[in-house]
Amino acid sequence: MMDFLELYQKNFPQLTEEEARKLHTQFREYGVHSKWIFSSHLTADTLIAQGDILSGLYASQFDVGDNDNQPSVLGPTEGIVITNTCDNELDRDTNAVFVPLFNAEKYFSSIDDANMRRDIEANVVTSILYMPAHNDLPASIADFSVCTTVTKTWLKKKKDAGQLQKRASLTNNGYYFLLAKLTLHLMRPETTELTREKIS
């Protein structure tokens, strides 16, 4: 019978201590900088990797307003893929989840809060990912609570029509950094005000 540690190590990505040390050094010295977070080449054309940045996406959200049965829409826009790479082969009939990227300068001018900007750019805010400028992509932020689902057939159709482009891919360190941010956001301890039933 497989013990829990073995199960964990088999099923979740791990990096070596050496990789972690280099990543920590880069993060401490440069912050999230395009020199280590973005790869010099894109991932394979036959798949969409977790962390790839695509353009030509559309995002939606429901809010109260004049017609709150209709979503507000953003797009075409850039977005970062959250779905695991193994689920993202374009010939698989599954869905993909991405988080839209918002122009950082426009966002920061809107919030007008120097402390908040400092924390977001340092990437210490649990729910917000800050991505630096890369090639012709401006610096951007992603809010992990603003997710959108698209079908793989939609992605493939848009890609074949030239309306969807892969704009950037992450390095190994960038990928681990994204996973660390997602972990920080989704797996941080729950509030102590919540009491769950304990099964004996």
Partner 1 sequence: MVLGTERTNTVRQTTEFEYSDNHQIYFKDQARVAALTATLLVPVLFNSVGNADLQFVLTPKHQQIRFTNTTELNVAIGHSEEVRSSPMSIAELSRTLFPAPVELTRAQTTKHRAAISSFFKKS
Residue with tokens 């969409």: 48
Nearest distance from residue 11's CB to partner 1, in Å?
11
Looking at beta carbons only, is 23 or 164 nearer to partner 1? 23
Give the Cα separation of 193 and 191 in Å (integer): 5
- Total of chain residues touching partner 1, rule CB under 8 A: 55
Per residue, the 3-state secondary structure of 33-58, as one string, reads CHHHHECCCCCCCCECCCCCEEEEEE
- Rounded Cα–Cα distance for residues 75 and 37 (Å): 25
Q: Which tokens hold the place of 163?
A: 């309306």
**If binding is defined by CB under 8 A, does position 179 make contact with partner 1?**
yes
Collapsed DSSP state (helix, strand, coil) of residue 1: coil
- 36 near partner 1, judged by CB under 8 A: no
Residue 18, classed as helix, strand or coil, is helix
Q: Is 20 in the site for partner 1 (CB under 8 A)?
A: yes
Among 10, 41, 188, 198, binds partner 1 (CB under 8 A): 188
Which residue in the set 116, 149, 153, 163 belongs to the binding site for partner 1 (CB under 8 A)? Answer: 116
Binding residues (CB under 8 A) for partner 1: these are: 5, 8-9, 12-21, 23-24, 27, 59-61, 63, 65-67, 70-74, 100, 102, 106-107, 110-113, 116, 119, 123-128, 143, 146, 176-177, 179-181, 183-184, 187-188
